[in-house]
Amino acid sequence: MFVLAHFRTDSEALHYAVSDDGYEWEPINGGDAVLRSDVGAESIRDPFLIEDRNGTYHLLGTDGWQSENVVHATSGDLIEWSDPELIPVMEGVPGVRNAWAPECFYDRGVGVYRLVWSSTVDPSDATAVRDHRIWTCSTADFETYSAPATLFDPGYNVIDACVVRVDDEYLMAFKDERGENTVDTDHKDVRLATAPSGGGPFGDVMDPVTPSPVEGPTVFHNGEEWLMLYDRFVEGRYGASRSDDARHWEVCDSMMDFPDGLRHGDVIEVPDDVGERLRDTF
């Protein structure tokens, strides 16, 4: 079963929808939040879920628009959560303005979990401002973290990185943040880059694989094909594309059944009994 963690425009908190196939999505808890934050900006935007190798689920989220921290909480069952805390992922970086859309993946090559997010850095010299780039740090235990470093800088604004392992490569889906927030604008779409290891370097940037404008891609395999879900934020709806090889994509919005109000989220596969408990509990 698959769980889509997301927020809503009117509720910057953790919400769930579940699906057996990645196409038909059922809201949990009547569409109401299952966890709220009371730290920092008291916001959970762009929620992301990962299960670590000990079976603990970790939530990461954006702590508002102008925080250099990300929200973190843990759970054994996706139902009962620890109190949210803030991880200072950009601590020590002069001029940091924000930390957006955190995600995480297990980097097999070095045996650590690698967090990724986007940040703008302004070291007080206007000519040296680097607008959004993809940053990273690593952790073995979600208690101590390495110093932040730039993971991906294609020379233009990028946000919302999602990294998955495909065959022997790491594939990054990211939003090209250039362009205007209007339908059919140039850019504001999702592109792909690849790397031989989780720490990069990510390169071989491909042409756009989605319509524009969209943001917040999440990529997963439903057992038969690759699916990419994304937020068509200007149009106030969710969208999707499918692929057999995670390289060549076709839009499949018309095949999807999404609950109303979804905003930037992430899909995680869970055992069927975990998904059923979510249905039964909330």
For residue range 28-72, list pLDDT tens digits in order.
Answer: 999 999 999 999 999 999 999 999 999 999 999 999 999 999 999
Burial class (CB in 10 A: 0-12, 13-18, 19+), 187: middle
Identify the CATH number of the domain in which residue 55 sits.
2.115.10.20
Residue 123: pLDDT above 90?
Answer: no
Rg (CA), the chain: 17
Domain that holds residue 223: 2-281
The number of residues making up the chain comes to: 282
Q: Is the pTM of this model over 0.75?
A: yes
Identity at 170, one-letter amino acid code: Y
Give the count of domains, the chain.
1
Give the tens place of pLDDT for each residue, 162-187.
999 999 999 999 999 999 999 989 99
Would you tell me how many other CB atoms lie within 10 Å of the CB of residue 42? 14
Residue that the structure tokens 């953790």 belong to: 14
Average pLDDT over residues 109-125: 91
| pLDDT of amino acid 256 | 98
Residue that the structure tokens 């999440």 belong to: 218
